[in-house]
Amino acid sequence: MNDELRERVEREAEKHALLNAVKHESDANVGAVMGPLMGENPDFREHADAVPGVVGGVVGRVNDLEYEDKRARLEELAPEELAEIEAEDEEDEHDLPDLSSADDYDEVRMRCAPNPNGPWHIGHARMPAVIGTYEERYDGWFCVRFDDTDPETKRPDLEAYDQIIRDIEYLGFEPDATFKASDRVETYYDHARQLIEMDGAYTCSCSGEEFSELKNAGEPCPHRGKDRETTLEEFDAMIAGEYESGEMVLRVKTDIEHKNPALRDWVAFRMIDTPHPREEASEYRCWPMLDFQSGVDDHLLEITHIIRGIDLQDSAKRQRFVYDYFDWEYPEVVHWGHVQLDEYDVKMSTSRIQELIQGGELAGWDDPRAPTVMSLRRRGIRGEAITEAMIGLGTSTSDVDLAMSSIYANNRDLIDEETDRRFLVRDGTELSLAGDAPTEANPPLHPNHEDRGVREIPAGDSVLLEPDDLPAREERIWLKGLGCFRYTRDALQYTGDDIDVVRDGEVDVIHWVPAAESVPVRLRTMDGDVEGRAEPGVADLESDDMVQFERVGFARIDSVAPRATDDTSGRSPRDRHEDGETVAYYAHP
C-alpha cells in the first residue's frame, strides 16, 4: 500500500468511524466501519490484508476523542451525513427496518426454508441471521422448514439436514421448531383435493411444449374443462404412481389471459420417478411444486412475514391464487436482492461447490477455498461475526456486496483480546547467530495482558527468517524478544543495542523461530497450503485453540502432531499426521 492510498484509507476510515461513533454515541467499532468503507471504495479490496490494520489505528484515534470533539470533526468532514444522523430518532433505530404491520399480529412468525441439497454457502447465512434477529426483536417465533419436495433436480443430501441446523446454531440462533416438507406430502394431497372440489385445479397431460404454446397465446388447455370427478380420479392415479414422469400434472386454474404468462395455470404437482433419498418419503412419486407446498405450509404454520429473494416475486403472485381459493390471508412479504461475495475464486453455488468436491479440486465442504459456512467455522471465524456482517447488509431489493473484510473485522473484535501470540515462519531461511546473544526469548503471550505471562523460546545456534525479512549486508534487524542483530560474515551478529533503535525507526522488528527446536506447521489458506515452522510452544496447543501468528494472522489449530512419546492409536486419520505436522487453518489478518 503506497502513501497516497494509505492517506485515502485513513481519510475514509475516519469519516466512517466518526459516523459510527456519533450515531451510536459510543466508541467506533472496526467491524461496523469496514463494511461501508469497503462498499463505497471497491478499489480498496485488493489491499484487504492491509486495510484493517490502517482502519484499526484510525478507530483508536477517533475513540480517544470526547463525544463533542467527534461531532465537531464529523461536521467538518461530512456535514450532510451528520445532519441525517441528528434527524433520526435514535431510540427507534435498528440495523434492520421494522417489519410491516408487525403490531397487527399477536406473534410475529417467520420461517427459514432451505433446500437441503447440500451444506450452506456463505450467502445462505443471511436468512437465519436476519430472521433470528427479527425473532429476538419482536419476541416472535421462527421455524426451519426443509423444502425437500424435489428428489431429482435439487436432490436432498441426507447429511445436509443436520448440518444446516448446526450452521444456524453456530450463527447464534435456535429455531423454535423444525419441519421436513417430505413428511407432509399427505397434507398437500388433502389440500389439492379440496382445490379440485372448488374447481380450482385440473389434471393435464399436455407436453411441456404444447402447453407453453397455448399459454403464450393466452388459450386454455383442452383439459381445463374436465369435470371434478375425472380430475379427482386422475389425481388419485397420480398419487398411486400410475403415470410416468412428465405424463401428467395437476395445474392450478388462474387467469389464462393474465398479462404475466408465468402466472397462467401453473403446475402444482408433477410425477417424479426418482425415489426420495429419505426412506420415509421414498414411496412417493407425485410431488408438489415448491409454490404449492410452500404456500400451503406458510398458512398452516401461521407465518406472518416471509423474506425471499427478489427473483421469487412471481412465487407470491402464484401462491395468492391458492390463497384466494381458500380465502386465506397472505403473509407480509419482504423481497431482497442477492448477496455478492468478494475474495473467493469459487462461485457461491451449492451445485458448483459439489462438482468441485466430486472432481477432487476441493477437499470437502470445509476446504478453506470453499465459500461455505463450514469453511468459515473451520477457519476459526465465529458465527456472531458472520451474523453481524449479514445484518449490516439490510434488506434492500438491490443486490448487495459483502466484503469478507467486514466479517474478518467483526471476528477480530471478538477474538483479539483472548488470543495468544506465537511466531510462525513460512518458507524460512536459516541464519546463524553470533556474539553474546541471549539464549532465550521471552515475548509476552499477549501484548495487552502481562498477567498471562511470557513464552519461552530457545534461540539456539541459528534461526529461521521469512525470505522477505532477510536483511541486507550490514543491515540491523530486531529479532522480537531477543534483541538487535547485524547481518555480517554470513551470520547475525548480536549488537547489544537497546530498544531505542526500534522506537527511533532505525531498525525493523522481525519475527523468527529457532532452527533446531521449531515445530513443523501446515497452514491451510484460501490460496492453498503453506508450510512453515513455529516456535516450540505451538506443539502444546490443542485442537480448536485460536492463535495469532505475529505478522501473519489469526489461525485456528485444527490438529496437533503427536510427540514421539504420544500414543496415536486412538486418533482418527483426520487428526493423525504421518509427517508430524501441526495443521492450522488461516482465519484472516
Whole-number Å distance between alpha carbons of 393 and 450 = 38
Q: Is 248 left (phi over 0), alpha (psi -120 to 50) or beta?
A: beta
Residue 232 has a pLDDT of: 97
**pLDDT tens digits along 45-73:** 778 778 888 888 888 898 989 888 888 89
**pLDDT tens digits along 257-276:** 999 999 999 999 999 999 99
| Torsion, CA 95, CA 97, CA 98, CA 99, rounded to 10 | -120
Strand, helix or coil at 447? Answer: coil
Query: DSSP secondary-structure letter at 470?
Result: P
Cell numbers representing residue 312 in the block:
421469487
pLDDT at 35 exceeding the cut of 90:
no
- Between 194-198, 286-290, 312-316, the lowest mean confidence (pLDDT) is in 312-316
Among residues 534, 459, 444, 536, the alpha carbon closest in space to that of 492 is found at 459
The pTM of this model reads 0.81
**pLDDT tens digits along 161-178:** 999 999 999 999 999 999
Model confidence at 91, pLDDT cuts 50, 70, 90, reads very low
Mean predicted confidence (pLDDT) in 518-543: 95
Whole-number Å distance between alpha carbons of 131 and 179 = 16
| Torsion, CA 484, CA 485, CA 486, CA 489, rounded to 10 | 170
Mean predicted confidence (pLDDT) in 66-92: 78
Residue 45 has a pLDDT of: 77
Model confidence at 468, pLDDT cuts 50, 70, 90, reads very high
Measure the CA angle with vertex 201, ends 197 and 205; round to 5°. Answer: 125
Cβ proximity of 172 and 383 under 8 Å: yes
Cβ proximity of 405 and 344 under 8 Å: no
- Which string of DSSP letters, residue by residue, matches 21-74? HHHHTS---HHHHHHHHHHH-GGGGGGTTTHHHHHHHHHHHHHTS-HHHHHHHH
Model confidence at 279, pLDDT cuts 50, 70, 90, reads very high
Residues in the chain: 589
Cell 480498496, residue? 44
Cβ proximity of 145 and 297 under 8 Å: yes
Give the number of other Cβ atoms within 10 Å of residue 128's Cβ. 29
Mean predicted confidence (pLDDT) in 143-150: 97
pLDDT at 12 exceeding the cut of 50:
yes
Mean predicted confidence (pLDDT) in 430-438: 93
C-alpha of 410 from chain center: 12
Mean predicted confidence (pLDDT) in 341-350: 91
Whole-number Å distance between alpha carbons of 266 and 247 = 16
The H or E element that residue 335 is part of is: strand 332-336
The pairing of strands 462-465 and 513-514 is antiparallel
Cell numbers representing residue 148 in the block:
425437500
Residue 49 has a pLDDT of: 77
Model confidence at 563, pLDDT cuts 50, 70, 90, reads low
Cβ proximity of 319 and 294 under 8 Å: yes
CA distance between the termini of the chain: 15
Mean pLDDT of the chain: 91
Whole-number Å distance between alpha carbons of 261 and 277 = 34
Cβ proximity of 532 and 475 under 8 Å: no
Mean predicted confidence (pLDDT) in 132-139: 96
